[in-house]
Amino acid sequence: MKFLRQAFATAAIVTLILGFGGSVLASDKKCAECHEDDETSLPIGKTRHGTNADSRAPTCTACHGPSEAHIKASSKFKPDRNFGKKSSTPVQDRNLVCLNCHDRDTQQTQWAGSTHDTRDLACTTCHTVHNGHDKVRDKKAQSEVCFSCHKEQRTQISKASHHPVAEGKMACSSCHNVHGSVGPKLMKRDSVVETCYSCHMEKRGPFVHSHEPVDDDCSNCHNPHGTTAENLLKVRAPFLCQSCHTPHASIVPSLAGQAPASGAAGWNSSSVLQGKACVNCHTQIHGSNTPSSQFLLR
């Protein structure tokens, strides 16, 4: 039985190496002789890189180079291009191998000069090319790969109010294009608000009366990764509102014509704020289409 498994493994790699149409370099054939039962190399047959019917699938030497010295003395020399954690190949050279094919993918066209590129992140830092289960392509497992660097976001996503990333209903790539973006913070759209609107369309408007912070950046009020306040607010109302609307600037104008005369018994502008939530009255904080509600009231 063991002999049959080894024979099948060898046949699988040889078939993979031959590729579509049967053309193959002699050095590629040589790979199968040593890596026939290599648990690191063999699973590539279960990936798109190992799809025999796809003429675009690379051979071993397409990624690793001819590696003649490695073939002659594998214990002394590594392949010309190696991609492990202790790789001796410069990051840019490793990434260039991937981009030779993937630069035609619209998701990767903004890689050059992106945040991850300028910080010398290799494609294989996140992707496991030879493994049939690439964690970053799995919505439930992707965040663990990202959190290995973005530790602050790991803490935030564990707070009471958070997007359902931990539950596997969303992934980091739901909002971010890690391969590069023309928008800020690697957003998938051109801006933070446009990215948020791709899900929260009811907040898009246009409204008769707009709330300026909403039009500017949703993260003015919300922390999308997680907070202890409900609705992903950075802090609860009224303290969030007061970060822009101080009592002397907001309460008096908003109550013009409605407030008791100055000095009337029981009237104090601070008492309106203290212990109250602004949204008890100003419910349409993302924008209002009611002509008379310029203060975003009900």
Query: Which pTM does this prediction carry?
Result: 0.77
Query: Which of the listed residues 91, 126, 161 is the one where a domain comes to its end?
Result: 126
217 and 113 in a common domain = no
Are 124 and 116 spatial neighbours (Cβ–Cβ below 8 Å)?
no
Query: Which of the listed residues 126, 154, 171 is the one where a domain comes to its end?
Result: 126
Q: Residue 112's closest CA among 103, 125, 104?
A: 103
111 and 21 in a common domain = yes
Query: Tell me, what's the pLDDT at 279?
Result: 83
* Average pLDDT, 10 consecutive residues per value, the chain (298 residues): 44 43 53 77 80 81 90 89 91 94 87 94 92 89 95 95 94 95 93 95 90 93 95 90 70 46 51 66 88 78
How many domains, the chain? 2
Are 14 and 20 spatial neighbours (Cβ–Cβ below 8 Å)?
no
Query: Tell me, what's the pLDDT at 2?
Result: 43
Query: Tell me, what's the pLDDT at 41?
Result: 75
Distance (Å, whole) CA 92 – CA 120: 8
Residue 272 sits in which domain range?
206-258+268-288
Crossing angle for the helix pair 2-18 and 26-35, nearest 10 degrees?
160
Judge whether 106 lies within some domain. Answer: yes
